[in-house]
Amino acid sequence: MFDTKIAILVRNDLPMWQRLNVTAFLATGIAAAAPESLGAPYVDASGQRYASLCGQPILIFEADLAGLQAAHRTGLARELTMAAYVFPMFATGHDEANRQVFLAEDAENMDLVGIALRGPKKGVEKATKGLALHP
């Protein structure tokens, strides 16, 4: 039905609250990078308007650090739209500080706790191959 796919991969050794937090941040990254992925705003029976949601399913996977790093490398090689969250971002208190710790990461060995991928179905499927859906 869709020619693109969206997947969010979250590290499996995080407490549940951190997994949910990372997932939320990564979803906003995809929405910002690919506004065409959003549907129309919602309206309830009384006419109250609500924000748009993503217009296609988002699959949530879990992985260890090595799995995240492998998916990241595949995402780069296949030029997928990506959002990333690294472990040091948990220690910051605002967006600018997040960008500073992200910039300080070793690009070849990022301490990833989550990534979001969007792109052609085959590319996203290649990046998530072998990973389990989040329970």
- The structure's pTM equals 0.94
Between CA 26 and CA 1 the distance in angstroms is 23
Phi-psi region of 131 (alpha: psi -120 to 50; beta: other; left: phi over 0): beta
Pull the structure tokens for residue 6: 């969206």
Question: How sure is the predictor about 1, in pLDDT bands with cuts at 50, 70 and 90?
Answer: confident
Q: Where are the domains of the chain?
A: 4-133
State the Cα–Cα distance between residues 26 and 85, nearest whole angstrom: 7
Right CATH for 4-133 from 3.40.50.1820, 3.90.70.10, 1.10.10.10, 3.40.1490.10: 3.40.1490.10
pLDDT in tens, 98-134: 999 999 999 999 999 999 999 999 999 999 999 999 9
Q: pLDDT (tens digit, 9 = 90+) per residue, 57-103?
A: 999 999 999 999 999 999 999 999 999 999 999 999 899 999 999 99
| Spatial distance between the Cα atoms of 69 and 72, rounded to a whole number of angstroms | 5
pLDDT recorded at residue 106: 96
Residues in the chain: 135
11-61 pLDDT per residue, tens: 999 999 999 999 999 999 999 999 999 999 999 999 999 999 999 999 999
Q: What pLDDT score was predicted for residue 2?
A: 87
Check whether 135 has a pLDDT greater than 90. Answer: no
102 class by beta-carbon count within 10 Å (0-12 exposed, 13-18 middle, 19+ buried): middle
